[in-house]
Amino acid sequence: MIIKPKLIKGTRDFNSIEIKKREYIINIIRSNFELYSFEQINTPAIENLSTLSESYGEEGDRLIFKIINSGDYLKNISIDNKTNYKNLLSKISKKALRYDLTIPLARYVAMNQNNIVFPLKRFQIQNVWRADRPQKGRFTEFLQCDADIIGSKSLLLEIELIQLYTSVFKNLNLPITIKLNNRKILLGICEHVGESDKFNDLTIAIDKLDRYSFEKVQDELFNKGFSKLSIIKLKRLFDFRESSFQDKILFFKNIFSNINVGMEGINEVEYIFSNLNGIKNIDFDIKLARGLSYYTGTILEVVCNNVNIGSIGGGGRYDNLTEKFGLKNISGVGISFGLDRIYLVMEELNLFPKILTHSSNFLFLNFGDNFLNESLKYASILRENNISCEIFPDNIKLSKQLSFANKKNIPFIIFIGDNELKNNDIVIKDMRNGNQQNVNKNKFLSTIIEINKNNG
Amino acid sequence: MIIKPKLIKGTRDFNSIEIKKREYIINIIRSNFELYSFEQINTPAIENLSTLSESYGEEGDRLIFKIINSGDYLKNISIDNKTNYKNLLSKISKKALRYDLTIPLARYVAMNQNNIVFPLKRFQIQNVWRADRPQKGRFTEFLQCDADIIGSKSLLLEIELIQLYTSVFKNLNLPITIKLNNRKILLGICEHVGESDKFNDLTIAIDKLDRYSFEKVQDELFNKGFSKLSIIKLKRLFDFRESSFQDKILFFKNIFSNINVGMEGINEVEYIFSNLNGIKNIDFDIKLARGLSYYTGTILEVVCNNVNIGSIGGGGRYDNLTEKFGLKNISGVGISFGLDRIYLVMEELNLFPKILTHSSNFLFLNFGDNFLNESLKYASILRENNISCEIFPDNIKLSKQLSFANKKNIPFIIFIGDNELKNNDIVIKDMRNGNQQNVNKNKFLSTIIEINKNNG
């Protein structure tokens, strides 16, 4: 049976040019992580399902890819036509694919707590997988680049993470805005409008204010049981959003005069802003809610000013992440770069440096077994001198070999034929202008080194 | 409920030092791939199960990790207490984790056949997953580094791949032996002993001759239906294995005088050996069979001379790999480096260069909010000048901050306190000898640059 060769929707192959462009971004992110003294760790792609479950909210749990147990996964399990897929799932699947890099970090910290010197500054650059509906900028398999600090509540870390974001995007020449908010402010708002028990519903609704009008979102809130009064109060808060930073701070300090958690959030935002010397591209945005349920303090999101593709980075503070693994009172804060969206934005704004399309400058033509030994010998000499080259593998018509060089943009061909063997020399031909030179074998290496220097 | 933080058996976390050591090996492999003009591609970790199935033999199919369909995977599927797990599997799973890098390459080639310039020389460095029982050197998640050439039958490629193996392991200072054989020789042997229909059983048995005596293996052959005569004939062939290369070639040319496929195999081996100028660490080993079912010609395996850990690399020629995807007559040949085993061997032989355990040389101490702005300012200046540093995030007892620096082997601490603010200078202290200097703020950067230069 013939299988149609195809990819899973939302996954991609990358060719060498795409890889080089991705590496260009990754190297900038990595070197900034290192300048801020983060140390790299890697965790496995597959984790115990119990490690990942119940960390990302109900929607997140649904989007985790689950792996079926090996062997006879139905052994000792009774099933019948009434078997429910959710109940069966927990019995036939114990492993899952990494959904983000934060929960694996929490698992790592809890596992290695006795050997880690806290505060831990770690970075991690690895793929994650989500069974989400793919669309522009949203993939099933995508790369996250995360920096987190575990074991300190200091707001200095928020400030440094904002500096880090700024530095990376400056290096990439990408014009961005960082949106900042605080979950404690959202909690305070819940209390203020008298709906403290509906925090999750509120954050989900607020998250939509970017795309939808307040009128549309208020219907949703009404359906979730928010009172009319609470919705009116909410509208008043979110109408305030276009005012200046100082006005917003004063407004909310007034609102939160009797609401501790809200006041804490406002004070944190004010402290961070007051220490961001010289960083201008940052907005206090109370519409920012962040989907993930584990954030407890500062939340951040990065958007590109010129391209509408959603967030290209995000993060925040989480106080209870390792509690799930029995390790209490460990606060963490971190940010993530969405490599795949940054790539799309860089492409759209034409920000990649020129990248060469061929990997080697030199192709040895193949004239058959009699000449093979010489080609192998001189190719070896080049490679020993760190010069990439290839030998055409088959002794086919010259025109086909030349066509190969042309299609692959290989600028120089090299050949050793009958005459050359006799005269002890080697021909080097520049494919772009047809110039060719006969070089004595003794001068071959030095000539190639010279050519290579001039052809980057 | 508290979840015990643990890893799935056979998977690993890597800390920054382990990552740097792995990168050391990977960079050597990658730069050699590039010297031989291979171009990198990446493929997704998850593929359609139909793409992977029936490529690796029955055992391989069993070891592929399968992913459960998202949502209600039992919808429209009738199950009862007689449902068989194998039948159900094909209905509830359509995706799987990559098992090797070769089948995804075949899928890639078939999908992109109209855009690829053949012969294609590609390399790929990515993780693969196998549901195998973990043991020393055998992991559930491990990294493969593959180089393949697709679209040429030339034996020059086998020669270059052997050169490539030699070059990488020479760069790594690892003493190795390359074992070489040819599937056509094994087919010829099958014909010679009169058991042409039992090729798979024969290769499985031969594969075991490394670990078990011929006597033990012959029982297995007998059970599989090999005749007594065929076993006697086989024993004669494998007794020959300690003789010289030329003796072996002559011996088999004689055996295969009327067996075309066997003679082809011997001629190929002879051709390859006759062009391996100067490469000595290679053995023609007729005991080599390779487990994977897709090889059709040359087969290769690399073992370390000093450490008994199984193969640290392997590969071979496959003629029909893209046929499954409807693309016929495309021959390929490739080799793989087993990064994880190479790592273990390098560790055992103490071959890694010395790698620093701290990522930055400088820690700013934290004396509280009054001094924070100055620390942030000078940390920024260092980072802008490409010097990594960190600020201790919390204003805690000095002894605890110093203990952090000690535990992390950070050689220099920097601080700006009351006196320093007054005098306009900054203290830099060498933690290793206690020497400390007060540096004027104007001289701070140049002093740090100098220190950094002397502390690598």
Q: In what order do the strands lie in the sheet with A389-391?
A: A389-391, A362-364, A412-415, A425-430, A436-440
- Give B76-85's long-range contacts (Cβ < 8 A, gap of 24+): B78/A81, B79/A79, B79/A80, B79/A81, B79/A83, B80/A79, B80/A80, B80/A81, B81/A78, B81/A79, B81/A80, B83/A74, B83/A79, B84/A74, B85/A72, B85/A73, B85/A74, B85/A75
Q: Do A39 and B15 touch (CB under 8 A)?
A: yes
B238 to chain A, minimum CA–CA distance in Å?
32
Comparing alpha-carbon positions, the chain B residue that sits nearest to A271 is B369
Q: What is the per-residue pLDDT across A188-204, written as a single tens digit (0 to 9) for each?
A: 999 999 999 999 888 88
Mean of all residue pLDDT scores within chain A: 93
Residue B125 has phi, psi (to 5 degrees) of -125, 95
A268 closest CA partner among A289, A251, A253, A287: A253
The answer to whether residues A177 and A166 touch, using CB atoms and an 8 Å cutoff, is no
CB pair distance less than 8 Å for B13 and A43: yes
Q: Which residue among A66, A117, A160 places its CB closest to the CB of B407?
A: A117
By C-alpha distance, the chain B residue nearest A107 is B5
pLDDT for residue B314? 95
Which amino acid belongs to residue B251?
Answer: F
Counts of helices then strands in chain B (DSSP H, E): 17, 16
- Which tokens go with B342? 């190479």
**What is the nearest CA distance from A350 to chain B, expressed in angstroms?**
22
DSSP category for residue A225: T
Whether residues B16 and A40 touch (CB distance < 8 A) is answered with yes
Q: Rounded to a whole number, what is the distance in Å from the CA of A204 to chain B's nearest CA?
A: 22
Contact A383 B167 (CB under 8 A): yes
Q: Per residue in B1-23, pLDDT tens?
A: 899 999 999 999 999 999 999 99
Torsion angle defined by CA atoms of residues B90, B95, B99 and B100, in that order, rounded to the nearest 10 degrees? 120
pLDDT for position A403: 95
- What pLDDT was estimated at residue A242? 64
* Cβ contact B205:B220 at 8 Å: yes
Q: How confident is the model at residue B292 (pLDDT cuts 50, 70, 90)?
A: low
Cβ–Cβ pairs < 8 A, chains A and B: 285
Compute the distance between CA of residue A221 and CA of residue A233 in angstroms, rounded to an integer: 13
| Average pLDDT over every residue of B239-249 | 79
Best to test chain A binding among B38, B46, B49, B84 (most A CBs inside 10 Å): B46
Look up residue B415 and give its amino acid.
F
Residue in this structure with the two tokens 């024969």, named with its chain if needed: B202
Q: Residues A90-137: pLDDT tens digits?
A: 899 999 999 999 999 999 999 999 999 999 999 999 999 999 999 888
Smallest CA–CA distance from B400 into chain A, residue: A118
* Yes or no, beta carbons of B140 and A71 under 8 Å apart: no
What pLDDT score does A209 carry? 84
pLDDT of residue B242: 64
Chain A residues whose CB is inside 8 A of the B395 CB are: 154
Strand, helix or coil at B298? strand
Which of A2, A42, A83, A120 to substitute to test the interface with B, most B CBs within 10 Å?
A42
pLDDT, mean of residues A409-431 = 92
CB contact under 8 A, A13 and B68: no
Q: Best residue in A13, A23, A82 to probe B by mutation, most B CBs within 10 Å?
A: A13
Q: Which domains does chain B have, with CATH numbers?
A: 16-348 (3.30.930.10), 360-454 (3.40.50.800)
In tens, the pLDDT along B182-212 reads 999 999 999 999 999 999 888 888 888 878 8
Please give the residue of chain B at the shortest CA–CA distance from A12: B44
| Interface ipTM | 0.93
Look at A160 and B391 and tell me if their CB atoms are within 8 Å: yes
Residues of chain B with Cβ-Cβ distance to A68 below 8 Å are 66-68, 89, 92-93
Joined tokens for residue A300: 């951040």
What is the band of A417 on the pLDDT scale with cuts at 50, 70, 90? confident
First and final CA of chain B: distance in angstroms?
Answer: 47
Helices first, then strands: H and E counts in chain A: 17, 16
Amino acid identity of residue B105, one-letter, is L
Contact B13 A44 (CB under 8 A): yes
- Interface contact B40-A19, CB threshold 8 A: yes
